[in-house]
Amino acid sequence: MTKDIIFFDSTLRDGSHAIGHKLTVDNIRNYCTGIDGSGLHVVIVGHGNGLGASSLQIGLSALPDQEMLTTARKALKKTKLGAFLIPGLGTIKDNLAPAIDLGVDLVCVACHCTEADVTGQHIDYVRKRGKDVYGVLMMCHMAAKEKLLMEAKKMQSYGALGVILMDSAGAFDPNMLEETVSFLSKKLDIPVGFHGHNNLGLAVSNSLTAIRSGAKIIDGTIRGFGAGAGNCQLEVFIGLLSRMKIETGVDLYKLMDVSDGVVAKIMHKAQEIDSVSLTSGMAGVFSGFAPYVKKAAERFSVDPRDIFIALGKRKIVGGQEDFIIDVALEIANKKAKDQNLSF
Amino acid sequence: MKKVKVGIIGTGNIGTDLLIKVQRSEILECGLFAGKNPDSVGIRRAEKMGVRTSFNSIKEIQDDPDCCAIVFDATSAQVHSFNAPILTKLGKFVVDLTPSSIGKMCVPVVNLKECLNSVNVNLITCGGQATIPIAYALIKAHPEIGYIEVVASIASKSAGSGTRANIDEYVLATKEAVRIFTGVDQAKAIIILNSAEPPVFMRNTVYAKIEKPNLEKITEQVLIMAQKIQKYVPGYKIVLGPVVENNRVTTMVEVAGRGDFLPKYSGNLDIITCAAVNVAEEFAKKKILRLKD
């Protein structure tokens, strides 16, 4: 392992999930000013589900995409500005083209891990605009490594510079991860990346497993700020690499200062693994569902953990937030029926 | 009664499902099933059914214009923009199942009658067919609605390669149609592909932001609309709502298919092929056979 690892900073993207997509102009300006030039490869900014995702289905952003990107663009002089896009939620015409016009340097085009052919149009577009483009396979615990390879190869053929495996539910165990990452790193011509979640307390150690297995990109967030149980805490991970005498070229003090001085103030509460996030990891359901699951549980007087388990059984993927109410209602009805029967 | 001949261009999931529905029709029959893909499962199916097939796609209709009076285009938005002027020149009534946005946008339950006077009728998208009637019902109850959002989740297995490669066209065409049919300027469309096994049924959610919603009135309109759609899409069902929370009105619809070509989970095929057959049958009755109601 050498210093050829690059770091994607998703603090201002994944962190959006944790505060109901309510980042402010000040949040973005302060963060970007502090983190600029720290040695991280890119700072990705926006709604938790990316460009064009602000919606009643997934949650409305406090700020329009353009305003978030413009604010970040002004503050970032050295570090690249990134955007995230999930085809089906955002389009080239309405979202991607305007974002690149505003000065985005790098785009992550993401899809559910079995659906890479929906990213062809978008990856090709970013490449033709002369910007860096990476593919992201979300919820990748849901597919076997052979299937993931097939999908990653599609992204490679569209022109992606790398493919990031996103453990959206924080459900990867270290063995499964090692097997998957080594397999893909060996078979792909482009670098493999890993984006971990902490539902099972493994985000940092899984990121280490990933680079030991051949990953070249680690995607994480400062202070672990992110959906559900949060992400691989970048400053901790880089601190660990430093202790292991692995050179990263990242200014760790700068990261720590932004963590304490800026991110701690943006966060509504400290990042923790509560029982709902833990269940989400065990059920293999997207971490970002947690606030909506809690709301539905309260409304229909059911256990949020039961909702997560039921969503897991239905193999619900990211973006299907509308199923939460449906599942909650189903559990509530069943509960009512059982109670009636017991009289 | 003599049946009216139709041509189907495009031999993928949608074209093949259409073929089976056309052959069941009392008014229509398939005069040509044409595409370009030599590996098409649909072509072999058509041959077995004794239907005339061709790999020459639209060229076959140009060479023998009498093979059909009505043409279904189930290719792709791009191919349809090539086909549309040719078919119009040949005097064919066109029912377009691609998200090309070329012809007059049609949701039969809302504007079938006026569409029969056009030469090219566009069926938007499967999500559009499933959600626009609900959005339209919401507007009837609350004309002041300022924002509408529609979400379709469909089984990966029922999304053909054309849809997947051109997902932006799907989103943009659906959004534009929601705007036009409801008159609400702020509209959003979302599509999610779910690869779960066994495959999930097509689900659609319609959201509207309404201050002080009159749930009784909304529910009444939504149920009337659902009944009307069920006449040509038997598997259409309201599964949740309308419900209200924080001025967000949510209605969820499930569409089960008839299982004609792909299994029942592919409600996304049925909702658009049923609409297409409905349009073609009405055109045949009113404009070709000149039948009275």
Q: What CATH number is associated with residue A122?
A: 3.20.20.70
> Do A262 and A300 lie in a common domain?
no
> Do A161 and A213 lie in a common domain?
yes
Mark which of A236, A266, A296 sits at the end of a domain. A266
pLDDT of amino acid B292: 66
- State the distance between the two ends of chain A, measured CA to CA, in whole angstroms: 65
- Provide the number of structural domains found in chain A: 2
> Do A83 and A193 lie in a common domain?
yes
**Are A322 and B203 in contact (CB < 8 Å)?**
yes
* Cβ contact B226:B236 at 8 Å: yes
Two tokens, residue A134: 């990476």
> Do A181 and A323 lie in a common domain?
no
CA R_g for chain A: 19
For residue B182, the 8-state DSSP code is: H
Task: Collect all residues of chain B within an 8 Å Cβ-Cβ radius of residue A285.
Answer: none
For residue B102, the 8-state DSSP code is: -
* Cβ contact A87:A319 at 8 Å: no
For residue B199, the 8-state DSSP code is: P
What does A166-177 look like in DSSP terms, one character per residue? Answer: E-TTS---HHHH
List, as ranges, residues 151-180 from B with C-beta within 8 Å of A: 151, 153, 156, 161, 164-168, 171-172
Find the residue in B nearest to A123 (Cα): B165
> Do A290 and A236 lie in a common domain?
no
The yes-or-no verdict on residue B6 having pLDDT over 80 is yes
- How far, in Å, CA of A167 to CA of A138, rounded? 7
pLDDT of amino acid A342: 54
Question: When comparing pLDDT for B266 and B119, which is higher?
Answer: B119
Mark which of A237, A266, A295 sits at the end of a domain. A266
- Percent of chain B residues past pLDDT 70, beyond the cut: 99
ipTM of this predicted structure: 0.88
Question: When comparing pLDDT for B157 and B3, which is higher?
Answer: B3
Find the residue in B nearest to A328 (Cα): B240
Write down how long chain A is: 343
Whole-number average pLDDT of chain B = 91
pLDDT of amino acid B293: 59
List, as ranges, residues 125-154 from B with C-beta within 8 Å of A: 147, 149, 151, 153
pLDDT of amino acid B197: 77
**Are A87 and B167 in contact (CB < 8 Å)?**
yes
Active site residues of A: 17
Lowest mean pLDDT among A99-108, A133-142, B35-44, B88-97: B35-44
> Do A326 and A247 lie in a common domain?
no
> Do A156 and A292 lie in a common domain?
no
> Do A210 and A115 lie in a common domain?
yes
Two tokens, residue A264: 């701690």
Suggest the residue from A47, A49, A51, A56 to mutate for an interface test with chain B (most B CBs closer than 10 A).
A56
pLDDT of amino acid A1: 44
List, as ranges, residues 28-47 from B with C-beta within 8 Å of A: none
pLDDT of amino acid B222: 94
- How far, in Å, CA of A83 to CA of A66, rounded? 11
Task: Collect all residues of chain B within an 8 Å Cβ-Cβ radius of residue A56.
Answer: 147, 149, 207, 209, 248
**Are B250 and A323 in contact (CB < 8 Å)?**
no
Lowest mean pLDDT among A289-293, B130-134, B147-151: A289-293
> Do A129 and A175 lie in a common domain?
yes
pLDDT of amino acid A341: 62
State the CATH architecture for B4-123+271-288.
3-Layer(aba) Sandwich (3.40)
Average pLDDT over residues B143-154: 94
* Cβ contact A6:A41 at 8 Å: yes
State the CATH architecture for B126-265.
2-Layer Sandwich (3.30)
pLDDT of amino acid A263: 97
> Do A281 and A256 lie in a common domain?
no
> Do A115 and A261 lie in a common domain?
yes
Q: Which residues of A222-250 are buried (b: 16+ CB within 10 A; e: fewer)?
A: bbbbbbbbbbbbbbbbbbebeeeeeebeb
Residue A203 lies in a domain: yes
Suggest the residue from A57, A86, A289, A299 to mutate for an interface test with chain B (most B CBs closer than 10 A).
A57
User: ∠ at Cα B176 (B175, B179), nearest 5°?
Assistant: 90
* Cβ contact A297:A328 at 8 Å: yes
Per-residue pLDDT of chain A (343 residues; tens, 9 = 90+): 446 899 999 999 999 999 999 999 999 999 999 999 999 999 999 999 999 999 998 899 999 999 999 999 999 999 999 999 999 999 999 999 999 999 999 999 999 999 999 999 999 999 999 999 999 999 999 999 999 999 999 999 999 999 999 999 999 999 999 999 999 999 999 999 999 999 999 999 999 999 999 999 999 999 999 999 999 999 999 999 999 999 999 999 999 999 999 999 999 999 999 999 999 999 999 888 888 899 889 888 999 999 999 999 988 887 788 888 889 988 988 888 877 665 5
> Do A117 and A208 lie in a common domain?
yes
For residue A189, count CB atoms less than 10 angstroms from its CB and return exposed for 0-12, middle for 13-18, buried for 19 or more: exposed
Residue A244 lies in a domain: yes
Q: Report the CATH number at residue A279.
A: 1.10.8.60
Task: Collect all residues of chain B within an 8 Å Cβ-Cβ radius of residue A323.
Answer: 153, 203
Least Cα distance to B203 among B250, B241, B151, B167 occurs for B151
Helix, strand, coil tally for chain A in percent (to 5): 50, 15, 35
Average pLDDT over residues B224-241: 90
**Are B207 and A57 in contact (CB < 8 Å)?**
yes
Suggest the residue from A118, A124, A289, A298 to mutate for an interface test with chain B (most B CBs closer than 10 A).
A118
Residue A1 lies in a domain: no
Write down how long chain B is: 293
> B119 in contact with A at a CB cutoff of 8 Å?
no
Task: Collect all residues of chain B within an 8 Å Cβ-Cβ radius of residue A122.
Answer: 168
pLDDT band at residue B162 using 50, 70 and 90 as cut-offs: confident
Q: Which domain holds residue A331?
A: 275-341
pLDDT of amino acid A3: 60
Sign of the C-alpha dihedral computed for residues A207, A211, A217 and A223 taken in this order:
positive
Residue ranges of the domains in chain B?
Answer: 4-123+271-288, 126-265
Strand order in the sheet with B28-34: B53-54, B28-34, B4-9, B70-73, B93-96, B120-122, B104-105
- How far, in Å, CA of A16 to CA of B17, rounded? 43
pLDDT of amino acid A343: 53
